[in-house]
C-alpha cells in the first residue's frame, strides 16, 4: 500500500511540476561596494554570515526537496554584492556539480562585474 501511494504521488508530482522551477535565493554576503539610500541591509560588514559549508548544506537540502517534488532547480545568488563574497566561486563549482541543470542568476552591482559575469555563457541572467 505504501509503495502504491508513493508511486501515485510520484506520478502526480511529475505530471504537475513538469517544466516548473522552484527558485532559491541565497544572499551570500551583506558586503557591498555601493550605499543605496533604499538599502535593506542595516550594515555591510557581513558579521555573522553563513559559512561555505552552511550554504552547501542548504543547497543539499534544496536538492533533496526539488528531487522529491520533481521541480527543476533555479539558484539565485545575491547579496549585498555577490562578487564581494569569497564563497561565490566555490558555490558556483558546487552548484555545477550538484545541480548541473540549474538555471543560475546573479545580481552584480557594477558594470564591470556585470560584463564579467555575462561573458560566462552558463549565466542565464545577470543584471
Ligand atoms: S546594491 Fe543592494 S546591497 Fe548594495 S547598497 Fe544598494 S541596495 Fe544595498
Residue 62 pLDDT greater than 90, yes or no: yes
Structure confidence at residue 25 (pLDDT): 94
pTM of the predicted model as reported, rounded to 2 decimal places: 0.78
Ligand 1 pocket check for 41: Cβ under 6 Å: yes
Please give the grid coordinates belonging to residue 31: 558586503
Structure confidence at residue 57 (pLDDT): 98
Residue 124 pLDDT greater than 60, yes or no: no
Name the residue at shortest CA distance from atom 6 of ligand 1: 36
CATH number at residue 61: 3.30.420
pLDDT (average), residues 31-38: 86
Residue 10 is assigned to a structural domain of this protein: no
pLDDT (average), residues 106-121: 60
Residue 12 is assigned to a structural domain of this protein: no
DSSP 22: E
Q: What span, in angstroms and rounded, lies between the C-alpha atoms of 109 and 93?
A: 22
Residue 9 is assigned to a structural domain of this protein: no
User: Separation of 39 CA from ligand 1 center, angstroms?
Assistant: 5
Among left, alpha and beta (phi > 0; psi -120 to 50; other), residue 64 is alpha
pLDDT (average), residues 77-104: 88
Amino acid at each position: 500500500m505504501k509503495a502504491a501511494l508513493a508511486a501515485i504521488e510520484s506520478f502526480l508530482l511529475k505530471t504537475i511540476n513538469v517544466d516548473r522551477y522552484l527558485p532559491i535565493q541565497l544572499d551570500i554576503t551583506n558586503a557591498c561596494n555601493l550605499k543605496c539610500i533604499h538599502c535593506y541591509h542595516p550594515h555591510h560588514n557581513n558579521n555573522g554570515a553563513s559559512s561555505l559549508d552552511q550554504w552547501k548544506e542548504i543547497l543539499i537540502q534544496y536538492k533533496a526537496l526539488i528531487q522529491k517534488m520533481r521541480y527543476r532547480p533555479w539558484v539565485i545568488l545575491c547579496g549585498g554584492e555577490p562578487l564581494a563574497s569569497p564563497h561565490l566561486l566555490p558555490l558556483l563549482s558546487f552548484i555545477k556539480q550538484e545541480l548541473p541543470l540549474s538555471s543560475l542568476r546573479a545580481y552584480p552591482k557594477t558594470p564591470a562585474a556585470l560584463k564579467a559575469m555575462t561573458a560566462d555563457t552558463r549565466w542565464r541572467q545577470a543584471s
